[in-house]
Amino acid sequence: MRNSVALAKITFLEGIRNRSLFGIALFSLFILGLNIAIAGFFMRDIGKVSVDMNMSALTFAGILLIFFVGLNLITKDIDKKTIQLVLSKPISRFEYIFGKYIGIVFFTLFSLTLLLAMSCVTLVVLMHFNADYFFDFSWINYFLAAFFVFVKFALLTAIVIFFSSIATSAFVALICSLSVYIVGVTIEDVIFYLRSEIAIQEKVVSASLERFLDVIAYLIPNFSVFDLTMEAAHGLLITPDRVLWSLLYASVYIALLLLAAAVIFARREFF
């Protein structure tokens, strides 16, 4: 555990000092600033649109953080052979995988927390000038939605780690992880449509393709589980059950992915 923490620490420092982080932060701040600038166009929906835009900014920043910085934090080790130096120390391959994961997750958490603080400032400013349109706004829902954005990226990090343990290049790991993310975000809507009456009547897809999509739906994590933007925007009730089940769902996936990555990584050779 001590080794994993030591590795997590240097991974976190390496990530947090990466220059691309500034670019991502600036871009997110631009979106948040834009939120203040254009909120006035939405009249009664200012509250909902603001929450929606802030969550989108956080999600977009998270995607960039994971794919531009997080992914590099592990694949660069393999590409540049730094891993040979690290694994020559008394550190097991499982500790390496776990340490890298924790490091990237903390890096994402730190970055998202900063952006969340900024987004709160924009909301406070907008609420100050348009208090009437924030009557159903709940800070608890807002923070829960932001927390689940983080949970989503903790799961995405596990996916990135999993593919990095298999792939021989950073590009392959990127493509695989990105594909899983896109499928994971959209799969619920696709399945929902395929099970709708219209789709059944018109036989949109063949039975075999439908079975294939069912299998994919079970294999690929459903990222829309973690999307609480609508609840946050409309001030809807988020039940403790939903929070707990979503957390359990993410935890099981993360554990399985890290375990698989560790097993694959233990067999891998570093030429």
> Under the rule (CB under 8 A), what is the footprint of other proteins?
2-3, 5-7, 9-10, 13-14, 17-18, 80-82, 84-85, 87-92, 269-271
Least distance (Å) from other proteins to the CB of residue 21?
Answer: 10
Residue 110 burial by Cβ neighbours in a 10 Å radius (0-12, 13-18, 19+): middle
CB nearer to other proteins: give 106 or 147: 106
Nearest CA to 227 out of 218, 236, 219 is that of 236
- The per-residue b/e assignment along 64-81, b for 16 or more CB within 10 angstroms, e otherwise, is bbbbebbbbbbbebbeee
Nearest approach, Cβ of residue 165 and other proteins (Å):
15
Taking the C-alpha atoms of residue 123 and residue 196, their distance in angstroms, rounded to an integer, is: 38
Q: Specify whether the CB–CB gap between 56 and 32 falls below 8 A.
A: no
Nearer to other proteins, 10 or 25 (CB): 10
> Which residue lies nearer to other proteins by CB, 89 or 195?
89
Judge residue 254's burial from the number of C-beta atoms within 10 Å of its C-beta, 0-12 exposed, 13-18 middle, 19 or more buried: buried
C-beta closer to other proteins: residue 89 or 211:
89
Tell the smallest beta-carbon distance from residue 53 to other proteins (Å).
Answer: 32
Tell me how far, at minimum, the Cβ of 10 lies from other proteins, in Å: 5
Nearer to other proteins, 52 or 77 (CB): 77
Distance CA(235)–CA(233), nearest Å, equals: 6
In a 10 Å sphere around its CB, with 0-12 CB exposed, 13-18 middle and 19+ buried, how is residue 255 labelled? exposed
Q: In this structure, what token pair is assigned to residue 182?
A: 């896109």
Q: How far is the CB of 113 from other proteins (least distance, A)?
A: 20
Smaller CB separation from other proteins, 256 or 263: 263
Least Cβ distance, residue 62 to other proteins (angstroms): 21
